[in-house]
A = this chain, B = another copy of it.
Amino acid sequence: MAQASITDLYPSRVTDMPSITERQDPALWCDLNAPPPGPLTREQLAAFERDGFLFLPDVFTPDEVERFRMELSRMANDSELRGKEETVLEEDGEMVRSIFRIHRLSDVFRKLAKDPRVADAARQVLGSDVYIHQSRINLKKPLYGKGFFWHSDFETWHVEDGMPRPRAVSASVALTENNEFNGPVMVIPGSHKRFVACVGETPDDYYKQSLRKQEAGTPDLESMQTLVAESSIQAPKGAPGGVLFFECNMMHGSTENLSPFPRSNAFFVFNSVENTLAEPFSGKEPRPEFAGERDFTPVGDL
């Protein structure tokens, strides 16, 4: 599966030595002096460029959020769906950790993916039309929902899915409150401008394990200390209906949810239609489509 035609600008999992290198690409793909039309202001686009994320409270109304939550509840209790590979369980093999491909499995979430409040924002940031590379809901069950170790999504998507460049953005729509105690997403502002090459080889069919608990493709301690020393850790928090946009190469993670109430967010990954997938840079088989979509239909046409 190796590809001679594309130079690997972001090699990772190829040596035993971790390294931090500079990003080779823009972090914002539109012209700030003439930004494309959309919900984000020039100031917001500049903040996204600088920090790698942008948190907007109250993007969706309580009624809209209620509809999303009912749909989530329906899906989480759908026994047929539970048997599909789109449903990823916690390591205990019982609790649902994530449901993938929600933009294909659900009309409600397909409409949410196309909503201009997220899709037009993604078009602005990426300076092009966009398609959905991945979508999912992460459910962090009360008391027992596990976290997600630090990672750059782009590192995974590049190595395991063949995404050529970091020209994708995630929108995380809060379906519940995200607070200090339920495992909110933690970000390192500015880390999207650095690329942390990870050590270790990618096992075959690694997604079957990594979607429960990631090990390959995770940064080393020294790199993490460097990134945080250069910047800080932040955890954007807020009421249901808020949206966290974050650049695909931003280092992020989250802890377990030890609160006795659930935490869930719906994620939509918008990739530029000018950045569609090649073969995985690991040389392995690509992950299945629920984890890395290979149908590049623009989101507006879904």
A interface residue numbers (CB < 8 A to B) = 142-143, 147, 149-150, 180-181, 183, 186, 221, 224-225, 227-228, 233, 235, 253-256, 258-261
Contact = CB atoms under 8 A, between A and B. Distances in A.
Contacts of A142: 221, 224-225
As for how many copies of this chain the complex holds, the number is: 2
Contacts of A235: 180-181
Contacts of A259: 228, 233
Nearest to A188: B260
14 contacts: A142-B225, A147-B256, A149-B258, A150-B258, A181-B186, A181-B235, A221-B260, A225-B260, A225-B261, A228-B260, A233-B259, A254-B258, A255-B256, A256-B256
A233 B143 contact: no
A147 B149 CA distance: 14
Contacts of A225: 142, 260-261
Interface of A, helix, strand, loop or mixed by DSSP: loop
Contacts of A228: 259-261
Given A180-B180, A180-B235, A181-B233, A147 B258 contact: yes
Contacts of A233: 181, 259
Contacts of A181: 186, 233, 235
B183 A255 contact: yes
A88 B221 CA distance: 22
A20 to B, nearest CB: 13
A260 B143 contact: no
Contacts of A147: 255-256, 258
A260 B228 CA distance: 8
Contacts of A180: 180, 235
Contacts of A221: 142-143, 260
Contacts of A150: 143, 258
A22 B227 CA distance: 48
Contact of A253 (B183, B255, B258): B258
Nearest to A218: B143
A191 to B, nearest CB: 12
Contacts of A258: 147, 149-150, 186, 253-255
A186 B255 CA distance: 14
Contacts of A254: 258
A150 to B, nearest CB: 7
A180 B184 CA distance: 11
